[in-house]
Structure 1
Amino acid sequence: MAFTIKTKKYLLISIILLTGLAVILKATHWLYLNKGYAQTAQKSKQQMTELVNFLDGSLSRYESIPHVLSTNPLLKNALLDQENPGSIQTLNLYLEEIQHITESLDIYLIDASGVAISASNWQKSYSFIGKDFSFRPYYQEAISGRLGRYYAVGTSSNKRGFYFSYPIYNQSIIVGAIVVKVDITEIEQQSTGIARAGGYEFAITDPDNIIFLSSINSWRLNSLSPIGKERQYAINESKRYANRVINELAIKPSYDENASAAQRIYAINSNKGVFDYMEIHQSMVKAGWNIHIMAPLSPTYSALPAFMMLYATVYLLLALGALFAFEKRKSSLRIQQANDQLEQRVQARTQALQASNQKLNETQDELIQAAKLTVIGSLSASINHEINQPLAAIRSYAQNTQTLVSRNQLEQVSDNINTIISLTDRLAAIVGQFKSFTRKSQGEDSATNINQCIQDSLTIIQPEIDKQGIELILSSNEIKCEVWGDNIRLQQVLVNLMSNAIVAMKHCIHKKLIVTAEQGTMLRIRIQDSGPGVRESQMEKIFEPYYTTSERQGLGLGLSISRRIVESMQGNITVSNAHLSGAIFEITLPIYLHGTSHKSANAQQGEFSDEPQ
């Protein structure tokens, strides 16, 4: 009888334990997935904003081109005198030149009937001249007096492009339209790079839900929505995709753009198989595009078993602790061993996180070092010239000394040797400054003399200033104050800003670089050039990572790194345009007072080191 009661007791305890375990696993599964979905959705919204801003900026570069071209009388004259082959050929050459300058795909002029009479591709086998484009919506928009925007695959070139069009007026009458076709292949490649860096995929669809841009090749020219006969006929009739075949994308469940959920989960076939993606979308009204962010859920799913096992382990430990609290020492030791094992796992995880943070810091330092070496590389020709001058002089004096020795003119020999020593010291000072600049910073802050820092930075940049024939105006000798920070990194900021100023003045006739330092409640350093200045559209983006202009080559990290270095010193960096011409970069830094505590500055520096560049 006692055996039966004991058996029932153990059976009841087992049932309770298993029931509780099932509840814990179910709750963990639900909570973790919902948390993962929420985090993925939040991250996708941020990624959507970045992608939309990039796409909008890429298209905006070309939006004003047709409007500007429409003001050229060559276009109106060609439309009014189409029988004159001379004026048409002159316009062909002009459009071809503009196409190369703007890096657009094609530029062509359409008359009031929709036929192209002149084109930048007049020499190509797929020349647009004589082609009828009256069926295109961008022509219909322009002929109605509006700026036209439209995406399509060219019926002649068979290339994907985005079209901007604008009407041509003869007094108040529209006599034609100018069209600029932009190659979206490069935009797609750059967007794919952004998506790869962010760990997501994207698809851009037209109003018919047909994917025409995507980070996954197999998704392109597929429809998110089912294609019926009537819809297939409408797509073919519009000639939007020329003769390309449009298929349905393998997606489950069926895509519903009107679903009420803020984000939806679909199983989509990609290059490597079928995977679950969380989809959010947003419209680009001006372009007529729908942007879809497809965030893969594989990372969330792969981490789920570990979390379920962790919570199940914690539950079982707590349950066993409650059941066997009054058992013998052996049971207590087993619980302690289980706790030790859990602590080891936490410690191992902590060590792994610390190792990851250390690797991130090292990568960040390497990025800053690479930026410095990039500046030195761009100045290499001037540096070689600056070093070769004293070397050539040393050789000349050495040869002259040999002659003087043979003539026993020892007094002049001594003078030559003193001159050689002086040139060697000068060469050592030049090389020493470049060596100090290129040395990897140890991240140790100290009181930095700002006047000396500016002089050291000018030593780096002076050869390029001399080479470019730039007038240097320096006003900092009266500044005797110090700032708290890393001297090498502050030099990097100054060299980078002055190097950018030199590049901006590359095509200027009169080149002037003004470096000014003013001391007040704060220290202000201004670097002003006589270049064309910064466009208003670039003011807010110029300090963003990976943002660059077509005039410069590189990753677009120099100004972003400079801003982070200045902010780590509790300062600020801004950009503005001078009254007449040129850009002004201003650095504001707190003045170091001896005896002041720098715990807050050190804390901020540590935060900068942990943050990805």
Structure 2
Amino acid sequence: MNSSYLADSTSQRLGRRSVIVVVLLVVFALLMVQTAHISRSQTLAELERKTEADLNRYLLSVQQKFDRYKDLPKLLSGYSELASILPLPMNEQDRLRINFYLQDVNATIGASDTYLMNAEGETVASSNWALDRSFVGGNFSFRPYFIDAMKGQSGRYFALGTTSQQRGYFFSYPVYEAGQIQGVVVVKIDLNDVEDHWNDPMQDILVTDNDDVIFISTRPEWKFRTLRPLAAHERRRVVESLRYGAHDLDPLDIVQRDTLPSGSQLITLTDILDKNRDDQEVLTSRQYLKMSRSMPDADLNVTILASLKPVEQRMISALTHVAFIYVATVLLVMVLLARYRIVQQREDFQLREHRALEASEARIRAIIDNTHAGLITLDEQGLMRYLNPTAEKLFGIKADEIREHYFSQLLSEADRSVCWRHIMNDAPDAPDELTIEAQAYHKGRGWFPIELTIGRMEVAGERQFMLTIHDITERKLYEQRLQQARDALESRVEERTSDLRQINMRLLDEMSQHRHTQNELIQTAKLAVLGQMAAGINHELNQPLTAIRHYADNAKAFLERGRFEVVSSNLSEISGLTERMAKIIHPLKEFSRKSTGQSEVVCLKAVRDGAMSVMYGQLEKEGIEVSWPSGLEEVYVTADSLRLEQVFVNLLANAIQAMEGYENPRIDVSLTSSQSMIDISFRDYGPGINDPQRIFEPFYTTKTAGQGLGLGLSISQRITESLQGSLIAKNHADGGAVFVISLPMASIPGHIECPSPSERV
């Protein structure tokens, strides 16, 4: 039994130790990863700042060097002797005089070369005239700095000299004579000293052109290489310009690029950095921080490649220190734990109880001392016994300075009486706690607002008070700003509401005027249609009027003869003819009256019958057949019956006019539905629409003079839009035009029958 218990206990201890070891290893791994990340980030940020400062310093030095020389060609161009020998020197004496002058100038300004070219680009004088690499007689008209100067501009250009094969930067300026450009003066400077002055072994300087070709570098093997592979046309352009002579312009082997949030890049560069014992080249990959800046005036880009070795070294150092501290801490904790266990085993039960009590009191004291609220205890008389550190900070005093003093001296006069009444109130029903906002005094910064809570408590049979104090300065400021913001917002809302109310009233007036104008246009269009129908209706009425007169005369004659049955028959015929005339006139009355403008449930059959009763005379005259879909009596839409009838009449009239002169004219009307909309299509077989985008513009018409004002389709579109629908126009694939009306579908009312035209009077 005992051996089994000991075995289980040993197994449990081993299990706990294994878990502790695993936890320690996991914590160690996480700590190393976090340390590496933080160290690398901080060191990389420092490296970025240093690199940026160095880059700015280098840019400033290069810019200063350029600034010393950029205006010298312009200054030299003003020397009258230069223009006097252009385009070619008159004699050898003139040539020598100018050569000596340029030689003296070049020695004074410290330039590499100074020379003069005529308008054809031939060098007529140069500071190096006496040297083997003399520019005299050379033609550099292909150089961009010459081309720019001949255009009247200052020229700048970097290239290898075609004669000297030395790198140089060229400044040029035109030479004028009698207002005409006679030649170009050029100053060439040497940039070799720019890379000689840079001696930081952890940084490499690269200066590139706009094609990313490196022409200045602290690494000689990188000169005349590129930061990126050049496209075929870019390489061909650079080679043909002779800017870099016969160099191959191979790109640096950058195998990886990572962009940092600051815009800099981390690159991995593979290059030949060493040789082995067999004198064979060894490729080595290194990481760099790449930071670039441009010099717009010089068309140059300056790049610094800072080695990441300091970052790696700092990270390794940080990892080493953290690992040492961690191991030392773990060992120290293990030693302390082992010693604590030994001490615990030797302690007596009573000592452990006593220490537990002390630990409890210590925890309470720590909580009181470290709370964010100020705590003060008062005795029964209101004298301060204890102040925690937060209270000392709140009032700017030390506890020893104010202990055994009245707390009320820290409050304003107005708040003291409230606190004293609560402290001195010893009635049984007195509240145990009082919370107020008061003004307190800070020894250094004066009065400030606090939230004060006074609570009663019993300690060893003695009545005491616990004061809890919170500084509410920020809260008061926030409340004040909030109130100001609320007042400002209410003021803006009131102003905006007033503006919106005025705007709304103006919009309502404009809408009322717009509806009135639209209704007048619709009525005008109706009257125009009525005018067109007048001739046809006159013809229709003449026939029944003639018949009525004939039947009336006959009835009179037969009445005199006493043949009453014939008279009755003639009167019946006259009654029928008058009914026919009423049906002819009814569409005019119905079509001409104004609409109420209110949408209602409308049967499409009634709209069709109304439109056809208006247009039947013109359709019959033109011999046009209208094909309507079946079942219109079961189709209802939400619309204004008279206004929708006007749209139908306008579309039919438009189709009739479009098919004038066409054989077998006809109009096809089709009906489709989708969800909550009904589409009614009117197709004619005319020439179609030349410009569907403009067909609905007011006063746009393709009709001949006297056939209309071009308002019918525009009014029809506005009517359909006011009915929550739409009207569009397009050309049919087989010829002719198609007008599609889309209207909201209405449910079929069970108690309403589709009315005939005569029932709508």
TM-score (norm 1): 0.50
Question: Are 2:284 and 1:280 aligned?
Answer: no
Among 233, 253, 258, the residue aligned to 2:236: 233
Distance 1:94 1:314, change over 3 A: same
Question: Are 2:96 and 1:89 aligned?
Answer: yes
* 1:179-578 correspondence runs (5 A): 179-190=186-197, 192-193=198-199, 195-196=200-201, 199-253=202-256, 262-268=263-269, 269=271, 271-272=273-274, 273-328=284-339
Q: How far did 1:80 drift? A: 4.5
What's the CA shift string for 1:454-494, capped at 9, x where partnerless? xxxxxxxxxxxxxxxxxxxxxxxxxxxxxxxxxxxxxxxxx
Aligned counterparts of 1:218 and 1:267: Cα–Cα separation in 2:
17
- Residue identity in the other structure for 1:263: S
- Residue identity in the other structure for 1:134: S
1:149 maps to: 156
Q: How far did 1:235 drift? A: 1.5
1:2 maps to: 9
Larger CA deviation: 132-141 vs 206-215 = 132-141
**SS of alignment partner, residue 134 of structure 2:** coil
Aligned counterparts of 1:96 and 1:255: Cα–Cα separation in 2:
50
1:99 maps to: 106
**SS of alignment partner, residue 253 of structure 1:** strand
**SS of alignment partner, residue 240 of structure 2:** helix
1:603 maps to: none
- Residue identity in the other structure for 1:267: T
- Residue identity in the other structure for 1:302: Q
Aligned counterparts of 2:341 and 2:93: Cα–Cα separation in 1:
104
Among 155, 167, 172, the residue aligned to 2:174: 167
**SS of alignment partner, residue 135 of structure 1:** coil
CA contact (8 A) 1:219 1:249 kept: yes
**SS of alignment partner, residue 245 of structure 1:** coil
Among 20, 26, 50, the residue aligned to 1:13: 20
Q: How far did 1:44 drift? A: 0.8
CA contact (8 A) 1:107 1:119 kept: yes
2:135 maps to: 128
Q: Which has the larger radius of gyration?
A: 2
Aligned counterparts of 1:151 and 1:53: Cα–Cα separation in 2:
18
What's the Cα RMSD here?
A: 2.4
Distance 1:74 1:182, change over 3 A: same
- Residue identity in the other structure for 1:265: L
CA contact (8 A) 1:201 1:215 kept: yes
- Residue identity in the other structure for 1:223: T
- Residue identity in the other structure for 1:17: L
2:734 maps to: none
* 1:25-40 correspondence runs (5 A): 25-40=32-47
Aligned counterparts of 1:108 and 1:125: Cα–Cα separation in 2:
15
Aligned counterparts of 2:166 and 2:28: Cα–Cα separation in 1:
59
Distance 1:186 1:327, change over 3 A: same
2:510 maps to: none
**SS of alignment partner, residue 236 of structure 1:** helix
Aligned counterparts of 1:331 and 1:205: Cα–Cα separation in 2:
73
**SS of alignment partner, residue 306 of structure 1:** helix
What's the CA shift string for 1:492-538, capped at 9, x where partnerless? xxxxxxxxxxxxxxxxxxxxxxxxxxxxxxxxxxxxxxxxxxxxxxx
Aligned counterparts of 1:331 and 1:79: Cα–Cα separation in 2:
106
Q: How far did 1:77 drift? A: 0.5
Aligned counterparts of 1:254 and 1:309: Cα–Cα separation in 2:
29
CA contact (8 A) 2:224 2:249 kept: yes
Aligned counterparts of 1:43 and 1:119: Cα–Cα separation in 2:
43
Distance 1:44 1:322, change over 3 A: same
**SS of alignment partner, residue 169 of structure 1:** strand
Q: How far did 1:322 drift? A: 4.5
**SS of alignment partner, residue 26 of structure 1:** helix
CA contact (8 A) 1:324 1:331 kept: no
1:47 maps to: 54
Q: How far did 1:120 drift? A: 1.5
**RCO higher in structure (CA 8 A, sep ≥6):** 1
- Residue identity in the other structure for 2:286: F
Distance 1:86 1:260, change over 3 A: farther
Q: How far did 1:86 drift? A: 2.7
Larger CA deviation: 19-28 vs 309-318 = 309-318
**SS of alignment partner, residue 47 of structure 2:** helix
**SS of alignment partner, residue 98 of structure 1:** helix
Distance 1:135 1:46, change over 3 A: same
Count of residues in correspondence between the two structures: 326
2:30 maps to: 23
Unaligned runs of 5+ in 1: 333-613
- Residue identity in the other structure for 1:72: Y
Aligned counterparts of 1:53 and 1:105: Cα–Cα separation in 2:
21
CA contact (8 A) 1:115 1:131 kept: yes
CA contact (8 A) 2:156 2:172 kept: yes
Aligned counterparts of 1:24 and 1:255: Cα–Cα separation in 2:
25
Aligned counterparts of 2:305 and 2:110: Cα–Cα separation in 1:
31
Aligned counterparts of 1:320 and 1:42: Cα–Cα separation in 2:
39
Aligned counterparts of 1:127 and 1:208: Cα–Cα separation in 2:
30
Aligned counterparts of 1:134 and 1:216: Cα–Cα separation in 2:
33
Distance 1:105 1:138, change over 3 A: same
- Residue identity in the other structure for 2:15: K
1:176 maps to: 183
User: Share of identical aligned residues, percent?
Assistant: 26
CA contact (8 A) 1:225 1:255 kept: no
**SS of alignment partner, residue 325 of structure 1:** helix
Aligned counterparts of 2:258 and 2:316: Cα–Cα separation in 1:
29
What's the CA shift string for 1:76-98, capped at 9, x where partnerless? 00115544333222211211221
Q: How far did 1:183 drift? A: 1.1
CA contact (8 A) 1:216 1:270 kept: no
What's the CA shift string for 1:236-283, capped at 9, x where partnerless? 012111223322212222699xx8752211223364554221111101
CA contact (8 A) 2:102 2:126 kept: yes
Larger CA deviation: 320-329 vs 218-227 = 320-329
- Residue identity in the other structure for 1:266: I
Larger CA deviation: 110-119 vs 31-40 = 110-119
